[in-house]
Structure 1
């Protein structure tokens, strides 16, 4: 099972980077918001706009995260995520992309994860593309690697196999950390189909350690700076999208090197997402089921 152990470690690293990752890269669809000023001299400026959110920004990240998960746990949704880490000269160090389609009950899902990393030994690149499908009773897996130029398949007669990414949605705990790490403020709002959307922004880091923990390995980076952050949150507490970017110092290199970290997440098709069988369903379903996973 050494290949499976390596994949699990790779996925854990992706979870630290993502943020399924999320994402303004590629074909990001930004929510349409018509600016409407949020007056700072309003005598009701501390009134709750959404769970954990006031005109001053996010004041209770736990309440917001809980509300976000409570809404999405009762509907279907698609999440798009992307995280990139680039050196100051623009060279890509690492990139992770994640797309997940989840249907209530949340055991029905189809997740695709792509990881690109720079090979430090041979100074080239390697990439993996892994897909996970579940109907709530079994999980099928397709694992592709650029190094072997091949795809292998796995079959689990269980809704809870060894892959931690299958438990990664809709990630309320990550919003606990994110909104403790940045000091946000509300800059405008609009109403769309009866739902009020608030746009938040930030250039202030509230907790450097939390910020690094959220998006990178705390052992290899420090001194986050030059932060830009934007988010869209609705009146129920759902974080529709966000974009987080900052510069940090990578300490595992000699000498230390600056990197730019960009992490985005976007939720779409809430209430209308479907999960169909993937094109590789038969190949994975015909493999011998993997033995049950035990956890110590």
Structure 2
């Protein structure tokens, strides 16, 4: 049986979650987004272009085009993703968030969030193509619920990568994350990465950052310094990985930020339901029974 303290904490967290609607995508809406990516990306087509979308004469001139292609390809691909985020305030105080995602080409996904920023010790998500499920663990207790927003939609994988803990954001992806960084890299030169025995060409995109707006942290920090962003992009427009690092100044104190994200497209990735999925229905039925007797 769940304790009252656990229920109270979870209620606060879920109220915050339910009060927000979507997440990044290129856009979040109740209707399915259209895309011109067909067939799904397999990373082995010899007819691929010579440079990523949005790149002209070796420079990134249209970041939005590159990002649209990245999101579109991922939405129809089987891939795994990882995000490791750290805020180091001093030698003994730090904030860490680790997120892993497994996404199937039909839209099903699993995600795990472990963070020191939120109420819970661990959150596990499962989306079966129609409904979202959530297992929230605090201490030695786990609560099973439906994972949905106030509009009844399910969080997207990118939502969990960039907004791993409540309050989740709504709207378009340019509010945070990869969009923010790639946009700041407009005009940067791409460097070709030589790869042996590979059919695709990779490019390195690097830029220096000096404004909190470039990192989406203007509301939190007074200024930033020693900021850098480096991404690895293929000819199709998929961002395979990126690294963001900078020192943020707030109230005269320095906070060191590092963020590493990687995407691996692999048709062999097997996205299966978690073992705890049946607990969601059991717990919901139990709560409905209690509510029925109370009424």
TM-score for the superposition, normalised by structure 1: 0.68
2:213 to 210, 233, 236: 210
Please tell me whether residue 223 in structure 1 is matched to residue 226 in structure 2: no
Are residues 219 and 111 of structure 1, via their aligned partners in 2, closer, same or farther at CA, if it must alter by over 3 Å? same
2:193–2:202: 8 Å Cα contact kept in structure 1? Answer: yes
Residue 189 of structure 1 deviates from its aligned partner by 1.9
Give the aligned partner of residue 123 of structure 1: none
Closer/same/farther in 2, CA of residues 212 and 69 from structure 1, 3 Å limit: closer
Q: Do the aligned residues in 1 keep the contact of 2:96 with 2:115 (CA within 8 Å)?
A: yes
SS, match of residue 187 in structure 1 = strand
Q: Where does residue 137 of structure 2 map in the other structure?
A: 144
Q: Which runs of 5+ in 2 are unaligned?
A: 1-6, 25-48, 163-172, 289-295
Q: 2:200 aligns to what?
A: 195
Aligned position for 2:74: 72
User: Deviations 1:30-70 (Å, cap 9, x if unpaired)?
Assistant: xxxxxxxxxxxxxxxxx972101346442211011011112
**Which structure is higher in strand share?**
1
Match of 1:60 among 59, 62, 79: 62
Determine if contact 1:231/1:239 at 8 Å carries over to the other structure.
yes
Corresponding residue number in structure 2 for 1:35 = none
Q: What SS does the aligned partner of 1:63 have? A: helix
Question: TM (normalized to structure 2)?
Answer: 0.68
Question: Which residue does 2:281 correspond to in 1?
Answer: 285
Alpha-carbon shift at residue 287 of structure 1 (Å): 2.0
The one-character-per-residue Cα deviations of 1:63-115 (angstroms, maximum 9, x if unpaired) are 1101111211221111101111001x333431111111111222x11111111
* Unmatched runs of 5 consecutive residues or more in structure 1: 17-46, 119-125, 292-296
Query: Given the alignment of the two structures, is residue 115 of structure 1 paired with residue 115 of structure 2, yes or no?
Result: yes
CA distance in 2, matches of 1:241, 1:61: 16
| Worse-superposed segment, 277-286 or 178-187 | 178-187
Measured on the aligned residues, the alpha-carbon RMSD in Å equals 3.4
- Give the 3 Å change call, closer, same or farther, for CA 116–128 of structure 1 in structure 2: same
Q: Does residue 49 of structure 1 match 2:51? A: yes
Please give the alpha-carbon distance, in whole angstroms, between the structure 2 residues aligned to 1:169 and 1:85: 18
